[in-house]
Structure 1
Amino acid sequence: MYLKIIQLSLLITGIFSKLAYASAGDHSPYYQRCVERCDLINCTEDGKEFKEDRQPLILKVTLWNCNHECKYECMWRTVEAFHDRNWRTPQFYGKWPFIRLFGMQEPASVIFSLLNAYVHIKMMRKFREKVRPNSPLVWLWNVFFIVSVHAWFWSAVFHYRDFLFTEILDYTCAFSLILMNCYLMSIRLLHEKVSKYILTGITIVFLLFLMSHVAYLSTGKIDYGYNMELNISVATFSALCWFAWCFYNRKRQKYVWKCAIYLALSGMTLLLELLDRPPYFYTFDYHSLWHLSTAPLIIFVYSFAIDDCKYLRQKKIDADAKKMP
């Protein structure tokens, strides 16, 4: 069920990304005429500067130029015109209309992305308090923490202002988090069974794979279909391996239920990504609510990490004791 939800979610995301320039709102003649008239009256020829600059400082800092302002104002006029005719709220460039707040295009998604980063920071502090720094695989969870916070930060930036640059960073960092989960799973399952040289080789392979994907996306032409399929493949493989490992160790390592419940609940929260309706109060859409729902699940991840590192430490102590004469 979890894997099917991932597939459906990424499929829908890919479809909507491809249709980002085929929305009813921005294709309506009313909207197009409104933007054209606004640009002509208020903007310079390149559409970037205002003929009379009265723009608040926060909007200048967040790079809202004259053409962007015209599109924002005309978006709401078009929404009102649609509602006057009892038509559904339209999308614009593949997105629902959101009320702008301090220059943020999607304020709820920004706040909830930062909330996820905050929970990671909070739980990592708890992890470092409870786990000795020389315990096995502590370094791995520290890397996981860095990658996660980095990904959620750029998610917030992308939802704050949607440019090609921020979109690429959001996509690459989101993939880095999925790939990090796969890497974490690989190292956890293999670190006691293979040599350090093999683990180093695995690390190099993952890094090269990530670098090649980042380089591919950085060309400026995002292949949404390829990116979707790659994310599905990596996420599916990781989930299968984690579930199998949890099932195999369910009696010997009682705490693995935390990992399993995290995977199951993550799958359930992804149902929110399958819903595509206008945002409540033009602020809270289902994508932002998905970000909100993932924040408390991070607690399960670090609780599992704490127990697992303690288990590995005790296992190492017992093994060293047996070696002593």
Structure 2
Amino acid sequence: MIYTFFILILLISIVNYSLCSVGDRSPYFQNCLKNCRSSNCTEDGKYFANYEQPLILFVTQWSCADECRYQCMWKTVEGFHERNWQTPQFNGKWPFIRFLGLQEPASVIFSVLNAYVHLKMLKKFRRNVRPDSPLSWLWHAFCIVSLHAWFWSAVFHARDFPMTELLDYVCAFSIILMSCYVMLIRLLRNKVPRFVVVVLTTFFIAFFANHAAYLSMGSIDYGYNMELNILIGTFTAICWFGWCVYNRIRQPYVWKCAVFVALTGVVMLLEVIDRPPIFYIFDSHSLWHLSTAPLVILLYSFAIDDCKYLRKKEVEDIASKKEP
């Protein structure tokens, strides 16, 4: 059932992607862009010929060609609306009102919010969990990977360049892969020899490096990347959910993990919704970023309870071995 749900998301996303970019393909936009560049830009399109650019746009690296694309985008949107046509997309994205040079201000703010919540919950984790507790290191590693990914998410949504796009996709995949790694290490704890954990860790690092290298070769293979993320995410969700059901009596706190997995699947429906942004600021993708922030609190709450449980079991096992 869960697997079917994610496959549905994949298919709808592919259809949406194939129908996008009507705006930048329109003759109106292309003519506007050509006239704007010839009238205002240097030959390479980087600089303005007769215009002093605001400092904030210079800092956020808006070239003259970028400025022309932005202005022509809104003229094209206005032209579409005058003909009672739907709001078009441009290069696979809806039109957004920029703020302080940020292309998608809502997604930037909500990406930073996610990073902030991770950082706050890590501090809470450290206050409540002893440093020598089992798997404490694992959740620290997870937090570091997540903070790195949300940083590049904010950068990408601030300014969409080929390099920032690549880093966003690679780092988003790192969270998916790290979540799978955390799940396997937790479920296999004390069930496999230590060298198996070392081999598993090496495999995950090599797999991530290989995927990152593949995405960096020419244009990003969006379809393959999406399919791989859904496959790993589905596998992780199924394993976590099954483990929670199996341990629901012995470890009552696992409901937090089960609810986290379920709600993560529910909020992914926002990624399926492909509608023009509300006030040209809040699109479904930015709202998805917003919805993931409170789920982080639930996940770390589970992590705190689980590490406390593991430490308690470890202390009990040591004490039982000392008894005559």
Question: With structure 1 as the length reference, what TM-score do the two structures score?
Answer: 0.96
RMSD: 1.3
Distance (whole Å) between structure 2 residues aligned to residue 88 and residue 245 of structure 1: 46
Gaps spanning 5+ residues in structure 2: where? none
> For each residue in 1:93-114, what CA deviation from the matched residue of structure 2 results, as whole angstroms up to 9, or x when unmatched?
1111000111111110110011
> For each residue in 1:20-56, what CA deviation from the matched residue of structure 2 results, as whole angstroms up to 9, or x when unmatched?
xx62211111111111000010001111111123111
- 2:134 maps to which of 116, 133, 136: 136
- 2:254 maps to which of 253, 256, 259: 256
> For each residue in 1:45-70, what CA deviation from the matched residue of structure 2 results, as whole angstroms up to 9, or x when unmatched?
11111112311111111111000000
Residues 1:313 and 2:311 aligned together: yes
Where 1:86 maps in the other structure, the secondary structure is coil
Residue type of the alignment partner of 1:7? I
Report if aligned partners of 1:182, 1:234 keep a CA contact under 8 Å in 2: yes
Deviation at 1:4, TM superposition (A): 3.5
Distance (whole Å) between structure 2 residues aligned to residue 177 and residue 17 of structure 1: 23
Report if aligned partners of 1:258, 1:301 keep a CA contact under 8 Å in 2: yes
Residues 1:237 and 2:235 aligned together: yes
Residues 1:62 and 2:57 aligned together: no
- 1:45 maps to which of 35, 43, 46: 43
- 1:91 maps to which of 89, 92, 117: 89
> For each residue in 1:270-310, what CA deviation from the matched residue of structure 2 results, as whole angstroms up to 9, or x when unmatched?
11111111101000001101110110011110000000000
* Counterpart residue number, 1:186: 184
Distance (whole Å) between structure 1 residues aligned to residue 93 and residue 150 of structure 2: 20
Deviation at 1:221, TM superposition (A): 2.0
Residues 1:26 and 2:24 aligned together: yes
Distance (whole Å) between structure 2 residues aligned to residue 179 and residue 320 of structure 1: 34
Distance (whole Å) between structure 2 residues aligned to residue 296 and residue 182 of structure 1: 20
> For each residue in 1:170-208, what CA deviation from the matched residue of structure 2 results, as whole angstroms up to 9, or x when unmatched?
111011100001000110011211121111111001101
* Counterpart residue number, 2:101: 103
Deviation at 1:125, TM superposition (A): 0.5
Distance 1:176 1:130, change over 3 A: same
Distance 1:36 1:215, change over 3 A: same
Deviation at 1:81, TM superposition (A): 1.1
Q: % of aligned pairs identical? A: 64
* Counterpart residue number, 2:9: 9
Deviation at 1:136, TM superposition (A): 0.2
Distance (whole Å) between structure 1 residues aligned to residue 218 and residue 28 of structure 2: 31
* Counterpart residue number, 1:120: 118
Of structures 1 and 2, the one with the larger relative CO (CA 8 A, separation 6+) is 1
Distance 1:54 1:16, change over 3 A: farther
Residue type of the alignment partner of 1:28? S
Deviation at 1:17, TM superposition (A): 5.0
Q: Which moved more, 1:10-19 or 1:161-170?
A: 10-19
Deviation at 1:10, TM superposition (A): 3.9
Report if aligned partners of 1:108, 1:284 keep a CA contact under 8 Å in 2: yes
Where 1:103 maps in the other structure, the secondary structure is coil
Gaps spanning 5+ residues in structure 1: where? none
Report if aligned partners of 1:5, 1:270 keep a CA contact under 8 Å in 2: no
Aligned pairs, how many? 323
Residues 1:79 and 2:77 aligned together: yes
Residue type of the alignment partner of 1:76? W
* Counterpart residue number, 2:146: 148
Where 2:268 maps in the other structure, the secondary structure is helix
Deviation at 1:11, TM superposition (A): 4.0
Distance (whole Å) between structure 2 residues aligned to residue 4 and residue 269 of structure 1: 16
Deviation at 1:12, TM superposition (A): 4.0
Distance (whole Å) between structure 2 residues aligned to residue 206 and residue 148 of structure 1: 16
Report if aligned partners of 1:98, 1:282 keep a CA contact under 8 Å in 2: yes
Question: With structure 2 as the length reference, what TM-score do the two structures score?
Answer: 0.96
